[in-house]
Structure 1
Amino acid sequence: MANSSKDIQLIELKDMISQLNTTIKTLAEALNKQQAENDNLKSELAWFRQKYFGASSERRVDDVAGQLNLFDNLTEDEKPVELIEPEVIPAPKKSRKKKPTLAEQFKDIPTRQLNVDTLTKEEKTCPICGTQMIPIGTELIRSEIVYTPPKLERIEYMATTYSCPECKDTEEPQFIKDNGTPALIPGSYVSESLLAYIIYRKYGLYIPLYRQEQDFQQMNAPIGRTSMAHWIIIVGIEYITPLYDYFHRELLKRRFLMMDETPIQVLKEEDRRAQTKSYLWVVRTGEDGLNPIVLYNYTPTRAGENIKQFLKGMEPGFYLMTDAYKGYNKVNEARRCCCFAHIRRYLLEAIPKGHEKDYSHPAVQGVLYCNKLFEYERVYKEKGLSYKQIGNRRLKDQRPVVEGFLAWANQVNPGDNAKLKKAITYIKNRRDFLMTYLEDGRCSLSNNLSENSIRPVTIGRKNWLFSDTPEGATANSLYLTIIEMAKAYDLNLYEYLKFLLENRPSKGMSDDEIAKLAPWDKTVQELCKNKME
């Protein structure tokens, strides 16, 4: 009976041990899972800290030892294709730039001399003989920059009436009146210079109209924001739209385009809530060596049909660089290009904190592939290669890298790294477009140009907050186009706006006439050039 009792206890102990082992195993698995989740959360936290408080530049750090040697460490069997190292061009030694003098720094602002006269009559008396001293010469003692507040001036235009002295006593006396140039807006007191100043401050300096209204009040001028908004819309429809349409027609003749979009808020859109997102698109020419054109387009929705309509008339087979938004798939006539800056950005976000130099980590390896492509592009530009030469070098140098990158993406196991999984999914979904840029040396490797062009909208959005009406949103797209076009040609923004309002483009003008008002026209560049170089 004792042996039977001991056997029972032994069996119970064995069962208990088995249950404890199972529990320990379950707890260990839960602990490992929890640890993985904690690591992911730490990575997310590090990413958010970097995004909101860290540097936003994507420039690659070159002083990481062995960064481009990852490919050399692979065995011949591991290399999917032959990889060619970019040619290293040593940067020219920069001599220290001589500090400019005050006269050189401010050579383009008016200068006048002021003779100081602070000595009293007694101080100008000779202490020996008592004779009054006389000036014998001057000397520069200091130079200052003086601020003169802007001022408004009211001008009254007087029309002169002429009559014929010979016919004044006849039954049909002859009169003629010189009415001068018509007002910019009939019945309004706004001038070309005043409106150019308002537009420049809103779209060039991102100063909203309500703050400009306060500034005008300080100048004793009751110019209200409602009036300013009305002027901007009226002049945009009447004079800026013809120039914008001309730019659009010129854009449709090109073969290399780039696009991006960002949400905006328009309060009074028909049958839509004020909180609903609207969109402002940027469509610009690529790196084809021709005159750059940058256009903005407002649409109430983000539907891909908007893009298709805007690009209607493009010759099929043009190249279009965009991000991964599916709406761009509506443009069936385009050869789509993939932005490797987006890919690199996703991969950089997938690198855990502290693993930036860990070449065994898949995300680091993916970044190195992208860096290699951008290194090639840098070398081509520094060597000043033609577009045909760039196309040939890309096929020789970069095609193997892209093929290796795709092979790498196919065998990567993201594991529990959610951001790496997102990056790999993004790469695989863009597989069909990864090599499009190899077809022509004028195609771009990234969409950075259009992202830079959309930045003024995001900056302005923080200041303007919203557009009241669709007409106001359309006006924003018109004036942003003019401002960014002027920047692309290094024109003085205010002077170019004033020049356009004085010359008043109209729908009745031919393209040849409007072309004389475009920022690439030599006369326009001479009249409106930015003197700061």
Structure 2
Amino acid sequence: MRKAYLKKTLTYPGDTETITYQRKKTKGVRQAVFSQFTPEMVHHELKGEDCTCPDCHGQLTEIGSTVQRQELVFIPAQLKRIDHVQHAYKCQNCSEKNFNDKIIKTPVPKAPLAHSLGSASIIAHTIHQKFNLKVPNYRQEEDWNKLGLPITRKEIANWHIKSSQYYFEPIYDLLHEKLLEQPVLHADETSYRVLENDSQLTYYWTFLSGKHEEQGITLYHHDKGRSGLVVKEFLRDYNGYVHCDMLRQ
């Protein structure tokens, strides 16, 4: 972004006021953006009848080439099918010595969720869309169907729940243990409305490290209430200091 600087000179009656602008140079900024990406060369060459001189119609000889223009190209999202082929191998030596053949199969990575159309990349993208970009599941459902993947908003929600239980919950529990080892913590809660909930309001609690910790941890905890019992249950036998607002007993 270019910035304009205004320079104003002192004037006297009858004099002319002079205003000049000095623009900050952006040399190198454009090239720094392009340097982040691996280039794909597109060669524009003369071939066949085009590679002749327009005056004498003699054959043209290439004497060099240069990058004339650079651009960034947006590639829309697409789905690609990958078949994981498992190969099997037989040990001839073991098979000759034993009654049964010795068969060894190559290991194949398991799917993140069994019997599901959601691969790791698809599930990760739905999580990014939902929680980082705030795209609701019903809009994601429409986009995936346009790409040829017939999934429903209910399936997307189930992916998020199962992924949290299988992969994120152990990490959360480990961070919880590490957080309780720190001498100073902060805690606060905020109300949140949830559709189709038995109570009008629910609460999300935040527990985080003190600002002087080298490895800061921030954890979110959901509870229907906002009393001090929530803090006692979450912190268990914690012996440090907790900085928070006044809590309801």
Give the TM-score normalised by structure 1: 0.39
Equivalent residue in structure 2 for 1:252, among 180, 192, 201: 180
Partner in structure 2 of residue 243 of structure 1: 171
Given that 1:201 and 1:207 are in contact with CA atoms closer than 8 Å, whether structure 2 keeps it comes out as yes
Given that 1:168 and 1:174 are in contact with CA atoms closer than 8 Å, whether structure 2 keeps it comes out as no
In structure 1, give the amino acid aligned to 2:38: P
Q: Which entry has the higher C-alpha Rg, 1 or 2? A: 1
Are 1:156 and 2:83 matched, yes or no? Answer: yes
Partner in structure 2 of residue 108 of structure 1: 36
Given that 1:265 and 1:278 are in contact with CA atoms closer than 8 Å, whether structure 2 keeps it comes out as yes
Partner in structure 1 of residue 218 of structure 2: 294
In structure 2, give the amino acid aligned to 1:181: P
Aligned-residue offset at 1:112:
1.8
Where relative contact order (Cα < 8 A, 6+ residues apart) is larger, the structure is 1
Q: 1:133–1:173: structure 2 CA closer, same or farther, 3 Å change rule? A: closer
Given that 2:79 and 2:147 are in contact with CA atoms closer than 8 Å, whether structure 1 keeps it comes out as yes
Equivalent residue in structure 1 for 2:208, among 266, 274, 284: 284
Between Structure 1 and Structure 2, the one with more helix by share is: 1
In structure 1, give the amino acid aligned to 2:90: S
Aligned-residue offset at 1:266:
3.2
Aligned-residue offset at 1:241:
0.6
Structure-2 separation of matches of 1:100 and 1:262? 45
Are 1:187 and 2:89 matched, yes or no? Answer: no
Given that 1:263 and 1:277 are in contact with CA atoms closer than 8 Å, whether structure 2 keeps it comes out as yes
Structure-1 separation of matches of 2:117 and 2:97? 39
Alignment of 1:286-325 (within 5 A): 286-316=210-240, 318-320=241-243, 322-323=244-245, 325=246
In structure 1, give the amino acid aligned to 2:146: Q
Q: Which SS does the other structure have where 1:102 is aligned?
A: helix
Structure 1 unpaired stretches of 5+: 1-95, 331-533
Deviations 1:39-94 (A, max 9, x none): xxxxxxxxxxxxxxxxxxxxxxxxxxxxxxxxxxxxxxxxxxxxxxxxxxxxxxxx
Given that 1:183 and 1:191 are in contact with CA atoms closer than 8 Å, whether structure 2 keeps it comes out as yes
Q: Which SS does the other structure have where 1:260 is aligned?
A: strand
Q: 1:165–1:260: structure 2 CA closer, same or farther, 3 Å change rule? A: same
**Aligned length in residues:** 225
Structure-2 separation of matches of 1:186 and 1:201? 22
Partner in structure 2 of residue 175 of structure 1: 103
Q: 1:118–1:213: structure 2 CA closer, same or farther, 3 Å change rule? A: farther
Aligned-residue offset at 1:120:
9.2
Partner in structure 2 of residue 142 of structure 1: 69
In structure 2, give the amino acid aligned to 1:223: I
Structure 2 unpaired stretches of 5+: 1-23
Structure-2 separation of matches of 1:155 and 1:168? 37
Deviations 1:262-319 (A, max 9, x none): 22233455xx25xx11111111112114211011111122233112211222214x14
Superposition RMSD in Å: 2.7
Partner in structure 2 of residue 344 of structure 1: none
Q: 1:179–1:188: structure 2 CA closer, same or farther, 3 Å change rule? A: farther
Equivalent residue in structure 1 for 2:156, among 223, 228, 253: 228
Structure-2 separation of matches of 1:109 and 1:279? 43
Q: 1:97–1:258: structure 2 CA closer, same or farther, 3 Å change rule? A: farther
Structure-2 separation of matches of 1:257 and 1:118? 69
Q: 1:98–1:315: structure 2 CA closer, same or farther, 3 Å change rule? A: farther
Given that 1:280 and 1:297 are in contact with CA atoms closer than 8 Å, whether structure 2 keeps it comes out as yes
Aligned-residue offset at 1:119:
9.2
Structure-2 separation of matches of 1:126 and 1:177? 62
Partner in structure 2 of residue 362 of structure 1: none
Given that 2:187 and 2:242 are in contact with CA atoms closer than 8 Å, whether structure 1 keeps it comes out as no
Aligned-residue offset at 1:117:
4.5
Q: Which SS does the other structure have where 1:257 is aligned?
A: strand
Are 1:198 and 2:116 matched, yes or no? Answer: no
Are 1:126 and 2:53 matched, yes or no? Answer: yes
Equivalent residue in structure 1 for 2:189, among 261, 272, 288: 261
In structure 2, give the amino acid aligned to 1:149: P
Aligned-residue offset at 1:169:
9.1
Q: 1:126–1:234: structure 2 CA closer, same or farther, 3 Å change rule? A: same
Q: 1:208–1:113: structure 2 CA closer, same or farther, 3 Å change rule? A: same
Aligned-residue offset at 1:213:
1.8
In structure 1, give the amino acid aligned to 2:168: I
Structure-1 separation of matches of 2:178 and 2:43? 56
Give the TM-score normalised by structure 2: 0.78
Given that 1:256 and 1:288 are in contact with CA atoms closer than 8 Å, whether structure 2 keeps it comes out as no
Structure-2 separation of matches of 1:168 and 1:224? 53
Structure-1 separation of matches of 2:192 and 2:181? 29
